[in-house]
Amino acid sequence: MRTPFTVRLIRSTPKSGWLAIAVFAAITLIGVPLAHLALPESNPLHLSAYTVSLLGKILCYMVVAVAMDLIWGYAGILSLGNCLFFALGGYAFGMYLMRQIGRDGSYGADIPDFMVFLDWKELPWYWAGSDSFLWALFLVVALPGVVAFVFGWFAFRSRIKGVYFSIITQALTYAAMLLFFRNETGFGGNNGFTDFKRILGYGITSPEMRVTLFALSAALLIVCLVLGRYLVTSRFGRVLAAIRDAESRVMFIGYNPLHYKLFMWTLSAVLCGLAGALYVPQVGIINPSEMSPANSIEIAVWVAVGGRGTLVGAVLGAGIVNLAKSFFTVTVPEYWPFFLGFLFIAVTLYLPDGVVGLWRRLHARRALAAASDVVAVPQRLREQADSAHDSAAKGATA
C-alpha cells in the first residue's frame, strides 16, 4: 500500500530538520511578535518597527532564494527571471493595496493617484476586480505561474538550457522592466505603487499588521522548506537531479524532461510571486527597478553563497548577503558594489558549494582526522567529502 502523502511529507524532512523548524517557528511566530508588541521600548530585547520590517523583508528574500535553489540547485537551470516573478506577485498584490487606499489619496479620487495624474477617467480593464482580496490572492499565484508556464513551455520544448536559458530569461525580465517603466502600461510607471494605507481595512503601519505580515512570511518560508524538501527527496526530485546531471540519458531511458523542468520552473515562479506579495506591504513600495537584471543575479549569489543544492544553504545565503547589504549600504554605500562583485568572484572561485559546502568539508576533514587510525574507513569518507563537490560541478555544466 502506498504511504499517505502527509506521512511521506513528514518523513521527507529528518528529525533534526523538524527540530530546527520548530525552533525557527518558535522564534518567528511567537518570539518576534512578542518582542515587538509586548515588550516596552526601553527593554533591550524590544524589536523596533525598522528591525521587524527588515527581518520580514529578508524572510521574503529567503523564500525567493529557496525558489531559486529549487530551480538552479536541483534542476540545474540558472533562471535570471526570478525577480520578474517576484515583482509580478508584488504588483498583483500592489493593485489591491492601491485600491484599498480608496479616496484617501492626495487627489481624493476613486482611482489611484497616478491615473489621475495621467488624466485617466476610469480603471483600465485589467484592473477589474482588483478591489477584491481573493482576486488579488488568485492573481498573486496565477500571474507569475501562467507567465512562467507559457515561457517555460516554449523554452524547454526547444531544449534551451544552460547559459542560453539564463540570458533569455534575463532578456525577458529586462523587457518586462521596460514595459512597466512606461506610464501608459498602467502600473504607475517609474514610481510604481506606494503610499499604501490598509489591508482588508486594517491599517498597514499598525504594529499588529507588521507582525502578522512578518509571521506570514516566516510561515511561507517554512512551507517552502518542507515542500521543497519533500519534492527533492521524492522520485520526482531524483528524476530532476538526473536531468540536471545528464539530460540526454534521462531522455533515452524514457522520461520527458519537459514536464519535470516545467513543473519545477512554474512552482519556483509561484513561490517568488508569493514572496513578492508579502514583500510589498512590508516595504511599502513596488516599482519596476525590482525587475532590474542585477536583482535576479543577486538572488543567484545568495544561493551560491549559502550553497547550491541545499535548501538550508539558500536560506543562510539570503540571510548573510542581505544582512551584509544592510550593513554596507548604511555605513559605506560606495563599497557595496565592490563587496558584492568580489563576493560573486570569490564564491564561484573558492567556495563552489557555499557556506554549507565549506562546513561539510571541514566536518568531513575532522571526521577524517579522527578516524585516520582505522584503516577501512578513510577511503569512504574521502569519497563522501569529494562527491558533493563533483556533483555540483557536473550540475553546472549540464
Partner 1 sequence: MFAMKLLRRMLGVALLLALIGGPARAALDPSLLAGFAGDFQSRMNAIEAIGVAGGDDARRVLDALEAGSLGVLEDKAVIVDGDTVRDAASGEVLTQAVDAVELITVNNRVRRTLANARAALALTSSDRAERLRAAITLGDNPNETLLPVFERALAAETDEEIRGILARAAARINLASPDPLVRLRAVRALGESSDPAVKNLLEGLLQKRDGNWVEPHPEVRTAAKMAIDDIDRRIAIAESVGTVFSGLSLGSILLLAALGLAITYGVMGVINMAHGELLMVGAYATFLVQGLFRSHLPAWLDWYVAAAIPVAFLSAALVGVAMERLVLRHLYGRPLESLLATWGLSLVLIQAARVIFGPQNLELANPSWMSGGVELAAGVVLPYNRIVIIGFAVFVLVLIWLMMQKTRLGMFVRAVTQNRPMAGCVGVPTARVDTLAFAIGSGVAGLGGLALSQIANVGPAMGTGYIVDAFMVVVLGGVGQLAGAVWAALGLGIVSKFLEGWAGAVIAKILVLVFIIVFIQKRPQGIFALKGRFADS
| Beta carbons of 74 and 264 less than 8 angstroms apart | yes
**135 is a contact residue toward partner 1 (CB under 8 A):** no
Q: Cα 187–189–190 angle (5° rounding)? A: 140
**How crowded is residue 320: how many other Cβ atoms within 10 Å of its Cβ?**
16
> Judged by CB under 8 A, which of 20, 246, 285, 381 binds partner 1?
246
**102 is a contact residue toward partner 1 (CB under 8 A):** no
Which residue from 99, 88, 86, 87 is spatially nearest to 127, judged by alpha carbons? 99
Q: Cβ 41 to partner 1, closest distance in Å?
A: 38
**146 is a contact residue toward partner 1 (CB under 8 A):** no
Report the residue number, 102 or 341, with the smaller CB distance to partner 1: 341
What does the per-residue mask of binding to partner 1 show for 7-46, with x meaning CB under 8 A?
----------------------------------------
> Judged by CB under 8 A, which of 47, 62, 147, 155 binds partner 1?
155
Report the residue number, 183 or 234, with the smaller CB distance to partner 1: 183
Q: Cβ 192 to partner 1, closest distance in Å?
A: 16
> Judged by CB under 8 A, which of 349, 374, 375, 376 binds partner 1?
349
3-state secondary structure the chain: CCCCHHHHHHHHCCHHHHHHHHHHHHHHHHHHHHHHHCCCCCCCCCCCHHHHHHHHHHHHHHHHHHHHHHHHCCCCCCCCCHHHHHHHHHHHHHHHHHHHCHHHCCCCCCCCHHHHHCCCCCCCHHHCCCCCHHHHHHHHHHHHHHHHHHHHHHHHHCCCCHHHHHHHHHHHHHHHHHHHHCHHHCCCHHHCEECCCEECCEECCCHHHHHHHHHHHHHHHHHHHHHHHHHHHCHHHHHHHHHHHCHHHHHHHCCCHHHHHHHHHHHHHHHHHHHHHHHHHHHCEECHHHHCHHHHHHHHHHHHHHCCCCHHHHHHHHHHHHHHHHHHHHHCHHHHHHHHHHHHHHHHHHCCCHHHHHHHHHHHHHHHHHCCCCCCHHHHHHHHHHHHHHHHHHHHHC
**157 is a contact residue toward partner 1 (CB under 8 A):** yes
Report the residue number, 78 or 216, with the smaller CB distance to partner 1: 78
The residue range among 96-104, 119-127, 159-167, 254-262 that interacts with partner 1, by the rule CB under 8 A, is: 159-167
**159 is a contact residue toward partner 1 (CB under 8 A):** yes
**300 is a contact residue toward partner 1 (CB under 8 A):** yes
N residues, the chain: 398
**243 is a contact residue toward partner 1 (CB under 8 A):** no
> Judged by CB under 8 A, which of 43, 206, 348, 384 binds partner 1?
348
**332 is a contact residue toward partner 1 (CB under 8 A):** no
The residue range among 36-44, 100-108, 148-156, 265-273 that interacts with partner 1, by the rule CB under 8 A, is: 148-156
**389 is a contact residue toward partner 1 (CB under 8 A):** no
> Judged by CB under 8 A, which of 178, 323, 332, 370 binds partner 1?
178
The residue range among 5-13, 173-181, 358-366, 371-379 that interacts with partner 1, by the rule CB under 8 A, is: 173-181
The residue range among 129-137, 216-224, 292-300, 318-326 that interacts with partner 1, by the rule CB under 8 A, is: 292-300
Please state, in angstroms and rounded to a whole number, the distance separating the CA atoms of residues 97 and 285: 10
**189 is a contact residue toward partner 1 (CB under 8 A):** no
> Judged by CB under 8 A, which of 1, 45, 330, 345 binds partner 1?
345
| Beta carbons of 188 and 290 less than 8 angstroms apart | no
Report the residue number, 209 or 251, with the smaller CB distance to partner 1: 251
Which residues of the chain form contacts with partner 1 (CB under 8 A)?
72, 78, 151, 154-155, 157-160, 162-164, 166-168, 170-172, 174-175, 178-179, 181-182, 245-249, 293-294, 297, 300-301, 304, 334, 337-338, 340-345, 347-349, 352, 393, 396-398
